[in-house]
Amino acid sequence: MKISVFGFLTLAFLLCVSIPSATSDLASINFLKCFQSKTNLSVSNSSSNVIFTATTSSYTSILQSSAQNLRFVTKSTPKPQLIIRPLGKSHIQAAVTCSKENNINIRIRSGGHDYEGLSYVSHIPFIIVDLSNLRSIKIDIENQIAWVDSGATLGELYHAIAEKSKIYGFPAGTCPTVGVGGHLSGGGMGTMCRKYGLAADNVIDARIVDANGRVLNRKSMGEDPFWAIRGGGGASFGIIFSWKIKLVPVPSTVTMFLIQKSLEQGATKFVQKWQLVANKLSKDLFIRVIIGVADSASGNSNKTIVVTFAAVFLGRREQLLTMMENSFHELGVEQKDCIEMSWIQSVLYVAGFSTEGSYNVLLNRTNTNKSYFKAKSDYVKEPISEKGLEGLWKILIEEESGYMIWTPYGGRMGEISEFQIPFPHRSGNLYEIQYIVTWEAKKETEEHLNWIRRLYGYMTPFVSKNPRSAYLNYRDLDLGINRNENESYGQASVWGLKYFNSNFKRLAQVKTQVDPSNFFCHMSKLTIQMGTEVVHLHTEQKEGKMCMRKLGFVTGNPKFYKSLSGLAICHLQENKAAEVTQPTIKATHIAIEGWISYRRMLEDCSNLEAVLWGLLWGFEMIKDQEMPVVQIINDGTSPLVLRVRFGF
């Protein structure tokens, strides 16, 4: 018998997808009443700058202010019933509490750069909690730390650091209008990742409003949730409104170069060599490859592939030249190619700004280069052959607005454990690929989507396998979404494993612990899929009972959770992690008999094997029932696991 996928999250899912229009209108009215009563704010009070309804004059401009992908800024795109722009944590708490009371879905937006628009689009009635008013940044140079609010942009963070110091920075992304909240919660990859790892690797505390409206920090939320929000997609677990980060030393002088090579200039050979050396270079040297299409130098109408080698070196020109001569002399980097500057100037340079002017340009939160676009990602573990590259060029050259960015790994990225945070793409990865295509008109969408999917398909033999990995911050719904409540955990894992590899299972467990009602649900693969058909029984009696009550609620059998609560207590007296695949109601009675039998056999609950035999005895007492399949698993790296799969 096939068991429903999401177990106790099934009801929450159904609520997310089946709210009638009239009900949602009433819910939004009740939400407003609730929110106003808790905050003393009014929609009519425009000075509050917090609540915006569809009839508010600034509603549309605020909705579109940080929406970066024009695919999701159309007349047909679902719009939020309300936009809440909190001025403090109490407003976030009120938004969560009132949304939960009225069954309204929440989208959380910091910078609006989500590639699939999931921070501001939903196909069920929803509100947006827009964190753009929360952008306080407090720099503590003496202790080499900073507190930064989720609504701040990377540009504002870099600016604030530069105002305090010329010898400290932060290893995050290159686009200054990206919001801190989404960037850190998805990993955060930048030009210093080979030296210091991801942005999320340098988070040391956070403040979050959970599904119960509580404000928690690292200590009060616990290490498992703190692990999950650093690279596991924070919006699945709560509203993170502030982050404590570790600043990193940067030299007074940083050196840059940009070298371009076309096919006619031997670009293929240079790319082949780059694949061999880029991940082995000094941690101080980061050479990213950008591959695109340009007019041929021959002057005719032909197109060619142009490869740009873009370097950021944490040191002086002379050191860089020596390093390149020793490791990648084929590229022919000369002194005239190298430009020395400060670290903050390098931030401007990489972002496409002049290094001669003020870095106040980083305070501009508006991205003026919005377009329709689609992106995908991959990881490469073995160099792509010359033949493979030549086939790639043939597809790329078909699309003038398509390009690829190859980001080298190695260095610190290869030293950090794949289990340190949910982001698992560490040792063994040569580089990460980002595929991007942009276009100008909605009518061109299908054509360009087909092209990038064909490009992605071509790359299949050359990239990671089992799973074919992807980077969460380059979110790609082509990898899968949850379409209905009958999908299994195994089906969800097909795309969950791509982002998180084996960390996906732990994320599912944390989601179950911190948000058992699935309040922070998305119609995407990264939130609802956190619901799992496997129920994790925790090490404390109270937690075990809580998990079992969820199952009892779904089955409607009160004896069910009482009996399995007892099993949870006994299984975990010695901190053993037990997992029981969700049984049917019929199997529930067998579990009850197994529990009773076990208690008769052995009063000392510390013996996991005795629990197993108790279950088997219980099955034997039911004459018309098949025996279960029972496994005890101990791979030496995880706690002992008991799996009981009921055999019918």
Q: Which residues are designated catalytic?
A: 474
In the three-class reduction of DSSP (H, G, I as helix; E, B as strand; rest coil), residue 404 is classed as strand
- Residue pair 261/306 in contact (Cβ under 8 Å)? The answer is yes
Task: Locate all alpha helices (DSSP H) within 306-373, ordered by sequence.
Answer: 317-327, 343-351
- Residue pair 172/245 in contact (Cβ under 8 Å)? The answer is no
* Beta-bridge mates of residue 203: 245
What contacts 481, CB < 8 A, 6 or more positions away? 523, 524, 525
- Residue pair 150/174 in contact (Cβ under 8 Å)? The answer is no
Strands 303-313 and 105-109: unpaired
- Report the amino acid identity of residue 337: D
* Beta-bridge mates of residue 83: 52, 128
How many residues does this entry show for the chain?
648
What's the start-to-end Cα distance of the chain, in Å?
6
Q: How much is the CA Rg of the chain, to the nearest whole Å?
A: 27
d(CA 409, CA 406) in angstroms, rounded, equals 10
What contacts 211, CB < 8 A, 6 or more positions away? 96, 100, 238, 514, 515, 517, 519, 520
Cα-Cα-Cα-Cα dihedral sign, residues 280, 277, 337, 174: negative
What contacts 432, CB < 8 A, 6 or more positions away? 189, 377, 378, 379, 380, 406, 407, 409, 425, 471
Angle at 483 between CA 482 and CA 485, to 5 degrees: 80
Residue 381 CB coordination number (10 Å): 13
Count Cα neighbours of 272 within 13 Å in the Cβ-side half-sphere: 12
DSSP-derived letter for residue 234 is G
**Among 55, 52, 49, which Cα is nearest to 32's?**
52
